[in-house]
Homo-oligomer: A and B are copies of this chain.
Amino acid sequence: MGTSGRRGRPRDEEADARILDAAGDLLLERGYDRMSVDEAATRAGVAKTTLYRRWPTKDHLIVAVVARIQDAVPVAYSGDVRADLTAYLNAITDGLNRMRQVARPATAGDMSAGLVAEVAAAAARHADVGAAVQAMFTRRNALVVTLLEQARLHGELRAETDPEVLFDQLAGALYYRLLVTGRPIDAAYVDRLVTGALDGATS
């Protein structure tokens, strides 16, 4: 198939991976405002048209970069839901803290939400970017909700537990601190969070 007889799909995936790696590196180096899509194509060694066919705007490209970062975090039930949640939330926290630095290199170390806030704003501005962001989180979060359902079936969580709400409480607290209150998130906070959500506030 195709004009050259090459297998198209693997080659496309390889180019996609190179583009997303280059875009991710540029984002971390320059920040959202100062990176250009053309530069990502050049650094990845692909034609600009290849990149634009796949991701028509910088906002679309950034969402794909964030999805790739997310997909690097494994999700599997080990039989110990507290350990699994702690590991997963620490991975999310590390990723969010890396992205927190991005887009404001001059004030690195401050509590800006950086790139994460730009992605949220891009999702709010462009309906198709919003749909892409929501699809990405729906897909990823379903994995963790499945893990929580397995833990419930296993008897680690109460039968009445609402896995979707439990996940929102955990991930939500991290993003809330990042995007809204600007409070720090770290391993000590993740421990407090998992303990609070699993143990509950009433006896």
Residues on A close to B: CB < 8 A?
103-104, 107, 110-114, 116-118, 120-121, 123-125, 127, 130, 133-134, 137-138, 141, 148, 156-158, 160-162, 165-166, 168-177, 179-183, 189, 192-193, 195-203
Contacts and interface: CB of A to CB of B under 8 A. Distances in A.
A117 B124 contact: yes
21 contacts: A104-B124, A104-B125, A112-B123, A112-B124, A117-B117, A120-B121, A120-B179, A121-B121, A130-B182, A133-B180, A134-B181, A137-B181, A141-B181, A158-B199, A161-B201, A162-B192, A169-B170, A169-B196, A172-B173, A175-B176, A175-B179
Contacts of A121: 117-118, 120-121
Nearest to A103: B124
Query: Considering residues A110, A113, A158, which has the most beta carbons from chain B within 10 angstroms of its beta carbon?
Result: A113
B196 A161 contact: yes
Main secondary structure of the interface of A (DSSP, over half): helix
A169 B177 CA distance: 10
A191 to B, nearest CB: 10
A201 B138 CA distance: 22
A134 B111 contact: yes
A176 B182 contact: no
Contacts of A116: 124
B180 A120 contact: yes
Nearest to A200: B200
A153 to B, nearest CB: 13
A13 B198 CA distance: 46
B197 A197 contact: yes
The 10 A-B pairs at the shortest CB distance, nearest first, are namely A200-B200, A172-B176, A121-B121, A172-B172, A117-B124, A168-B173, A172-B173, A134-B182, A169-B169, A165-B196
